[in-house]
Amino acid sequence: MNDSISKQALGIGEEIDGPGRVYFEQPVIDNLLETMMELAAEVWTIRDRQAVLEKVLADKGIDAAALIEMHVPGADELAERKALREAFVARLLAGFLRRPEGAKGE
């Protein structure tokens, strides 16, 4: 970022950098939806990069897409990937498991 032309230097961006807007009575819902959008944008960005990477490699004679499909994992690799996958699922569902009946006030 060129400092001389940053948003701060120009004093611009009040709309996108300010407190923004809230549309639900419970702002947590606004925040959750925004987080979901940011995550979805990032997931797409990674998928798109993966596709471009495979295309670039294919242009160099490396059929990465096919090599990936044909890859046969060993037992160690399978176990390692399973552990990572289960940890990911646990993180995703952690909130629901901690508060199965919703929030309870003290």
Partner 1 sequence: MVDRGHLGVLPRPTKLADESYLEFLESFRDVLLSKMFPAMAEAGHARMAEDGLDVADPDLPLPVIQNSFGKSPIVPTWQRFMRSQQEMMWRRTRDSFAARADEELAWLKAGEAKGPGRLVIDPDFKVPDYARREIHLQPGGYTDDPLGGIVYHYGTKVFYSGTNDQDELHEELAQLATPPVDGKAGRIMDLGCTVGQATIKLKDRFPDAEIWGLDVGEPVVRYAHARAAHQGVDVNFVQALAEAMPFEDGAFDMVFAYILFHELPLEVIPRVLADVHRVLRPGGVFSIFEFPSASQHLPPAYRFMIDYDSRDNCEPYSPGFVHADFRGMLAEAGFAVADGPACSNGFLQSIVATKL
Find the shortest distance in angstroms from Cβ 59 to partner 1: 15
Distance CA 94, CA 88 (A): 10
Q: Which is nearer to partner 1, 32 or 84 (CB)?
A: 32
Judged by CB under 8 A, does residue 58 bind partner 1? no
Query: With contact defined as beta carbons under 8 Å apart, do 24 and 30 qualify?
Result: yes
Contact flag: residue 40 with partner 1 (CB under 8 A): yes
User: 23 Cβ partners below 8 Å, 6+ apart?
Assistant: 30
Q: Interface with partner 1 includes 20 (CB under 8 A)?
A: yes
Neighbours of 74 (CB within 10 A): 8
Contact between 19 and partner 1 by CB under 8 A: the answer reads no
- Asked if 41 interacts with partner 1 (CB under 8 A), we say yes
- Which CA distances in Å does 3 have to 11, 12, 13, 14, 100? 12, 14, 15, 18, 48
Q: What residues make contact with partner 1 under the rule CB under 8 A?
A: 1-2, 4-7, 10, 12-16, 20-21, 23-24, 29-30, 33-34, 37-38, 40-42, 44-45, 48-49, 52
